[in-house]
Structure 1
Amino acid sequence: MNYRHAFHAGNHADVLKHVVLLGLLDALLRKEAPFFVLDTHAGRGRYLLKGEAAGRTGEATTGILPLLGLQDPPPLLARYLRAVAADNPVDALLVYPGSPLLTAQAMRAQDRLAACELQPEEAAALKALFASDPRVAVHARDGYDAVHALLPPRVDGTRIARGLVLVDPPYEAQDEEYPRVARAVREALERWPQATCAVWYPIKQRRSLQPFFRKLEGLPARSVLLTELLVRPDDSPLRLNGSGMAIVNPPWKLDEAIAPVLPVLGDKLGERGTSTRLEWLKRDEG
């Protein structure tokens, strides 16, 4: 696997993914009981925006950077911007926090995170980042295998009822990745039915995602919510034209928190032909 997220840190896909992630974490934080998060493809946790990789591509210039200084953003977008700012000096954006760091920042003493990363260099950086945080366990292993090994979660022999499985693979071989994602989410739900599962997916041509969506519809889940941001029309299979998050068993009113954010992201990050989507793929009417 050759993928390195450092080249894409803070881009439009990260913005959408992390806005949704924080919305999910905020829902978990509404109750005092502990929660558990499994991040299957965690990366290194923190990225230097002026580093060689991110500096070479400059993708943050069409992602997080246009959102800085935004006046009166919707509450969930404001939450995201505060979380990014918390890892930086005042009035400067030097680093971009990845999903495990954003999760750890939000967690309380009773909550737990298992962050999995297969690439040795990235896993070593992740372990160093959380070396002094007893709430976070870093696993240098395949994240899909971790679904079987770590779920349902237990801390000191006590099962944790609530939580989130975040699946954010690189999709280097998409024909292989989508079936693996669907199998992993199915197993996660079978082992931990109370969990919410959030899956990030790239959009090059949306019509190619239909088989994946059909698999999501067939999951043993109450509901599935799709949220997408296309920064340009999806008429090129060679470019990342946008991305989406499929949220399986989303918490109550998550869609209402996301809805006002999407038009702002489309306006600030999109090119000509941008579009957004917030749609129930499957909905519990009970």
Structure 2
Amino acid sequence: MRQTHAKPPLRSLQVFEAAARCGSFTAAGEELGITQSGVSRQVSDLEATLGVALFRRKGARLSVTPAGERLARQLGDAFARTWSAVADARASDQVVTLSMLPSVAARWFAPRLGAFMAAHPNIDLRITASRHLVDFTAEGVDAAIRYSPAPLRDLDALKLGTETVTPVCSALYAEEHALRAPADMYRATLLCGDIPEDWPAWFDAAGCSHPPPTGPRLGDDGAILQAAVEGQGVALGRSLLVADDISTGRLVTPFTISLDASHAYWFVRPKGMAPTPAINAVKNWLIGQFEE
């Protein structure tokens, strides 16, 4: 056959690879959704373009030539990598990396993970728990739940919700220390965190002008609330983080006096980057959780 320098169409290469792998023009046609004669024509055109016989035809029998075997093997490898790349590209649209505070991840999101998976089984949600403000591009983060008075101006932001702050402790601790009025808190151990709302502000709201000395200071809300669950004292609990503990009885609120939190929860993303359907699905699910 006379060889030409024209590049063969990708479709003819795909048809040839299927025919060589299946060992039959008919079977290849069924796999590709074309007729047996269409397969034969594509293969003949490819042989004419390459100037190489790819099949030996002897009556109804068909066999691959050595040149055809080499080409089919290399094409098989190339198509396998191609389809793998396509699958990866499709899967990447379903991956969402969401950043949030460790306390939010542990005490609010983790108990709801099953509900998210049930609602969106095809989304590969990856949580990164961090106290620092992540660099979205450098750290490969798609979106974040941030707890702040207001988001940075360089971010697209949606306000998810606000909360209140109120004293919480174990039921046993409240009973043992007879916490029935704000003045009873003078004999309690006051666990301290690093949120803006502090014990002096709460005692002021409760009408107690001289708050007692505070106790241990723990930098993480998750650790503070766990200490309260374990009966180590009374913590100022953020309503979002203590809701599940209160509903299950792990924590109680001895008093109805609360402070409005100065911070709010925001869903934030980098500006100028169009969200994928998966990111929008995560955002809408979070909105629904905060509305409950």
TM range (shorter): under 0.3
The structure with more helix, counted as a fraction of residues: 2
Q: From the CA coordinates, give the structure whose radius of gyration is larger.
A: 2
Q: TM-score w.r.t. structure 2 length?
A: 0.25
